[in-house]
Amino acid sequence: MATSIINPNQIETKSVKYIQNKEYSPTSSSSPPQNEGIIQEMEPNCSESNNNNNNNNNNNVKKGMTRSDTVETLIVDDGSVPLEVEATASSSDDSPTSPKSTSSNNSNKNKKSNNNNNNRLTSNESDTTAQINKKTILSQYNRAIKWSVATERGYEKGPNKTRKPIHNFMEDFHFPTLDDKNAAVHTHPVSGLPVYIWLLADGHGGHEAPQFFIREMRMAMEDIVDFHDWNWEKKEECQLFERFIKDKYKEIDKKFCDMKTKQFKAWKASGFKGEKPLDDGCTFIVNIIYKNMHINCNVGDSRTVLGRRENIKRGLFSHRESVWSQVFGSRDHAPELSDMAYHISQNGGIFLNQNGSKRVHGAIVSPAKRGTKSYSDLVGTRIYRAVNQGISDIGISNMRTLNMGATMGDLLFKIEPAVLTNEPDVTFNKLNTNKDYLLVIASDGVWDYLKYDYSATQMNNNLLEFLGLSMSAWCQKKKAAEGGKVDKKNINLNEITPEILEDIAKIIVQRDYVKEIYCQGLEKFDDCTAFLVFIPAVNNGAKQNNL
């Protein structure tokens, strides 16, 4: 992801009063969000409405991007994670109000545990029943999830096949990391079921923002999931979960911007001496799996794609054993999206061409009138904002543009009225327990370099097919090496191992070499991070965990 420093000529300015955001309080009475969470039953083509929201700005490779040759991988086989918790008499019908702050969460969890211990069933008959119920519940959600992550630092090609890094630091950050291999999963304190969480932040303008949001959001997301034994069948609980997520995004974004405001004011007070503070930002995506639900929370243009293995022959590569297709794809928050364009225009944002000239475009109207149709005359635009009193008071430069409609951080664009929003899309995807799924979580260093000039949905499907073929090929190779019979029409994905996912993840981030899916002949590549998460059907994992 790249920011641009500009020198626009004769751009109309507007004076706007700077207003600090009100302090967030999780216990305050606030109205529910206007946009409710989306619950998908994950049937073929059921997420078409979401896929249509994917903008097509990813079809063209962004110019000026680069990367390096450092590759990191992380492989975890979480199938054997113990789920040994004592059965307690707790009710899932309790009405949750709000998760506590991260700082007080540990003590509250201890109190919750003590209360549960006090309410423990005491009769032998009840204990036996509870143990049977526990075993049934655990086996119902036992998927033996395996995952991997790989990264490649951005670079520019030099003479004699040398590579020059485009950034002083890697600007993609993710959780879990290589040093935190088992941190993706923890046991829910109430239900005893596994909770999986993956985070990805793609920075622009520096590395401070992605580091900050990964650090702050990790515990915040765990607190929200652990706060209540969520019943995803209840619409009101999904809506409440969504509200908690959106409030937390807003709260932590404000915390970062307040910190940056103090830094810039101090720098201004010193007469602009010393090192200038960074005005950087990032995308931020969260993916959670709890019970039979996958939850995606997305700000920016990093992308999540959820594919499902189907029993049909289809696809670009014409291989039966691929049979993976998209059932969910997050939308990239580009400026041309209907809601993004309206928010930007209503808050003083100015649309520019790549050369810094003002973009000529038609009228921008409320999404209530236009719907979700994107503005084709805004594709490829960059966002600029004129100087106002708030910008002058802080001492921050406005000679910077962005090519997104929503970000975390980016103080310049968050000074009131905020030109860019920090509100995430929150989508609930119900997982069929009898189906295999593949979750791909990646920064735009993957999506911007894909080879085929199709819609986002088609490009996502092409990548899923390639990954499906890769997994099938590795399973066949493993089977043959063990002396078994290879059946191409009936690939057993139980053969998937952490080592297989490691090799596939490495392939995905090495864009200069994978001709099947990536554009070739490019000179620069941006930072790149890709998670691969294999979610087998419940029955596939039951035997492994002896349930």
Dist. CA 453–CA 462, nearest whole Å? 11
Answer yes or no: is pLDDT of 262 > 60.
Answer: yes
DSSP state of 454: S
Tell me what the mean pLDDT of segment 281-288 comes to. Answer: 99
Domain count, the chain: 1
Strands 425-430 and 38-40: parallel
| Pairing verdict, β 146-157 and 163-165 | antiparallel
If phi over 0 gives left and psi between -120 and 50 gives alpha, with beta otherwise, what is residue 466? alpha
State residue 144's pLDDT score. Answer: 86
- Cβ neighbours, 10 Å, residue 337: 25
Lowest mean pLDDT, pick from 46-60, 143-157, 174-188, 324-338: 46-60
In a domain, 31, yes or no: no
Q: Is residue 409 part of a domain?
A: yes
Burial code of 192-213, b = ≥16 C-beta within 10 A, e = fewer? bbbbbbbbbbbbbbbbbbbbbb
pLDDT at residue 488, rounded to an integer:
58
pLDDT for 515: 87
pLDDT number for residue 469: 85
What is the model's pLDDT at position 482? Answer: 66
Between 540 and 336, where is the model more confident?
336
**Interacting residues of 349 by C-beta distance below 8 A, sequence separation 6+:** 383, 384, 385, 413, 419, 420
With 60 as the cut, is the pLDDT of residue 57 above it? Answer: no
pLDDT band for position 134 (50/70/90)? low
Indicate whether 529 belongs to any domain: yes
The fraction of the chain above a pLDDT of 70, given in percent, is 68
| Region of residue 271 (left: phi > 0; alpha: psi -120 to 50; beta: else) | left
Q: Spell out the SS3 assignment of 83-104.
A: CCCCCCCCCCCCCCCCCCCHHH
pLDDT of residue 99: 78
DSSP 8-state class, residue 184: T
What pLDDT is recorded for position 118? 47
Structure tokens at 506: 């490495």
**What is the pLDDT at residue 45?**
36
- Residue with the larger pLDDT of the pair 132 and 15: 132
pLDDT at 3: 56
More confident site: 223 or 134: 223
Instruction: Give residue 188's pLDDT.
Output: 96
For the stretch 142-167, pLDDT in tens is 788 999 999 999 999 999 889 999 98
Chain segment 196-224, per-residue pLDDT in tens = 999 999 999 999 999 999 999 999 999 99
At residue 177, the pLDDT reads 80
Position 109 scores a pLDDT of 47
Cβ-contact 532, 147 below 8 angstroms: yes
CB atoms within 10 A of CB 530: 26
- pLDDT, tens digit, 9 for 90 and up, residues 102-115: 444 544 544 444 44
Output the pLDDT for position 124: 55
CB 70 within 8 A of CB 152: yes
Cross-strand partners of 76: 147
The residue segments making up the domain with residue 497 are 38-542
Residue 143 is predicted with a pLDDT of 81
CA distance 475 to 338: 44
pLDDT tens-place string over residues 348-377:
999 999 999 999 999 999 999 999 999 999
Mean pLDDT estimate for the chain:
78
Bridge partners (DSSP) listed for residue 407: none
Once rounded to an integer, what is the mean pLDDT over residues 279-285?
98
DSSP of 18-87: --PPPPP-TTS--PPPSSPPEEE---TTTTHHHHHTS-SGGGSPPTT--EEEEEEEEEEEGGG-------
Say if residues 102 and 188 touch (Cβ distance below 8 Å).
no
Instruction: Kindly give, in sequence order, each residue whose CB lies less than 8 Å from that of residue 299, ignoring residues fewer than 6 positions away.
Output: 249, 283, 284, 285, 333, 406, 407, 408, 422, 423, 424, 425
Which residue would you say has higher pLDDT here, 473 or 252?
252
- The rounded distance, in Å, linking the Cα atoms of 395 and 413 is 14
What's the confidence (pLDDT) of residue 516? Answer: 87
Q: The domain spanning residue 368 has which CATH number?
A: 3.60.40.10
Say if residue 21's pLDDT is above 90: no
d(C-alpha 531, C-alpha 178), whole Å: 12
Q: Which of 191-195, 282-286, 323-327, 496-500 has the lowest mean pLDDT?
A: 496-500
pLDDT at 400: 95
53, pLDDT greater than 90? no
- How far is the C-alpha of 375 from the C-alpha of 10, rounded, in Å? 25
Is residue 493 pLDDT above 80, yes or no? no
What Rg value do the Cα atoms of the chain yield, rounded? 24
Q: Could you give the CA distance from residue 494 to residue 318 in angstroms, rounded to a whole number?
A: 23
Q: Please, which pLDDT band fits residue 138 given cuts at 50, 70 and 90?
A: low
Is 261 within the bounds of a domain? yes
Q: Give the span between the Cα atoms of 145 and 143, in whole angstroms.
A: 5
**Residue that wins the pLDDT comparison between 391 and 54:** 391
Give a yes or no: residue 119 inside a domain: yes
- Is pLDDT larger for residue 426 or for residue 479? 426
Domain presence at residue 21: no
Q: Hey, which of 59-68, 380-389, 512-521 has the most confident mean pLDDT? A: 380-389
Question: According to the model, what pLDDT value does residue 40 have?
Answer: 47
| Distance separating alpha carbons of residues 145 and 142, to the nearest angstrom | 8
What 3-state DSSP class applies to 264?
helix
Q: Is 436 helix (H, G, I), strand (E, B) or coil?
A: coil
Residues in the chain: 547
Q: What is the DSSP track for 110-178?
A: HHHHHHHHHT---SHHHHHHHHHHHHHHHHHT----EEEEEEEEEEEE-GGG-EEESSSS--EEEES-T
Task: Supply angle C-alpha 265, 269, 273, rounded to 5.
Answer: 100
- Within a domain: residue 150? yes
Question: Tokens 């670079």 appear where?
Answer: 155
**Is 351 a member of any domain?**
yes
Average pLDDT over residues 326-355: 97
Per-residue pLDDT at 378 exceeds 60: yes
